[in-house]
Amino acid sequence: FLVGVGIGGFSVPYDLLAEICPDKIRGQVLMSIWVWFAIGGILITELAYFVLDSRGWRYLTLLASVPPVLSLLFLGFLDESPSWLLAKGRAAEAETIMDKIAKTNRSEMKPFKLEDEEEHHASMTDLFKPKYLLATVCVWLTSFAQTFCYYGIILFLPRVLHVPKSERFPFKELIYSCLGEIGGTIIGVFMVDFLSRGMVCTVSFLVFGLALPLLVTPNVPLPLVFAMIARAAAPISGSASWLLSAEAYPVEIRATGHSYGNMIARIGAFLTTYWGGAQLSATHLAYGYTAVSIIGALGGWFNPKAAMALE
């Protein structure tokens, strides 16, 4: 439960980064940070390989908690949102942060004066106002689909990849598939520079949905290749859906909108554990994931910000 509470705030630093990044590089920056998510996947798999059998899951969980604890040391270096400060009547602090940003980027700013913005207490009802309704529905569809598919493929691969009798778990194959995830994230960084947000999201969901049935096709050659393709497509669709979520709302309700989207994403992550563990054939499970990926593709395509592409 406490881990879930912590994950609930994960989207806030992402939204801070989205706010502060220039339009020209926002897409690449927000997509690229997911490389570290993929690297973490490789490291935790390696750690499980050495620790899980000898020390048990509690020791593995303890070691996995070290990076989040260390991240607390960096909170003091994280600046507050200037827009949020203005909404709270703290214009002087916002100006100080803007000056700091200018100095960090070696840019000269002419003397300026920020005016306080009207404070707005965002709530869930704001997300369903007519001008945001379509965006909210699409954000929720892609958020649900991306975690259902991403965590689903992680649960699904051990079931379908060949494991020698001498091994209890396909650690090596999972590490190889994680390499596909790193490659996919890098590809996504370049895709968002040339394609619209919605196109990146839609295409990646569809590639994922196509790779899963091929992976479970009897006698398919090189199943690990299809596993790597699925793992490559999953983070692209996930990071693109996060990017769409961050850009779907104005600053005053962005964190609220993205946080509720993250809540829906956690529901997807929760439900995929039951689908991945269902006593069904691998083929039925694969087509179930494909169906959800199609839903995610539709959410990406119809998102009002789907046509957004950087010039």
- The total of other beta-carbon atoms located within 10 Å of residue 308's CB is 17
What interhelical angle do 251-276 and 223-247 show, nearest 10?
A: 150
Amino acid letter at 71? Answer: S
Interval 57-97: pLDDT, tens? 888 888 888 888 888 888 778 888 787 777 777 878 888 88
Work out the average pLDDT over 166-192. 75
Q: Residue 192: which of 19, 42, 18 has the closest Cα? A: 18
Question: What does pTM read for this prediction?
Answer: 0.76
| 32 torsion bin: left (phi>0), alpha (psi -120 to 50), beta (else) | alpha
Interval 184-195: pLDDT, tens? 888 888 888 788
Q: Residue 260: which of 150, 83, 136 has the closest Cα? A: 136
Interval 217-246: pLDDT, tens? 887 777 778 888 888 888 888 888 877 877
Tokens of 7: 């994950």
Interval 7-53: pLDDT, tens? 666 667 777 777 777 777 777 887 888 788 778 878 888 888 888 87
Interval 101-142: pLDDT, tens? 788 777 777 776 766 566 566 778 888 888 888 889 999 999
Q: Residue 169: which of 39, 59, 62, 51 has the closest Cα? A: 51
* CA–CA distance, 112 with 110 (Å, rounded to integer): 6
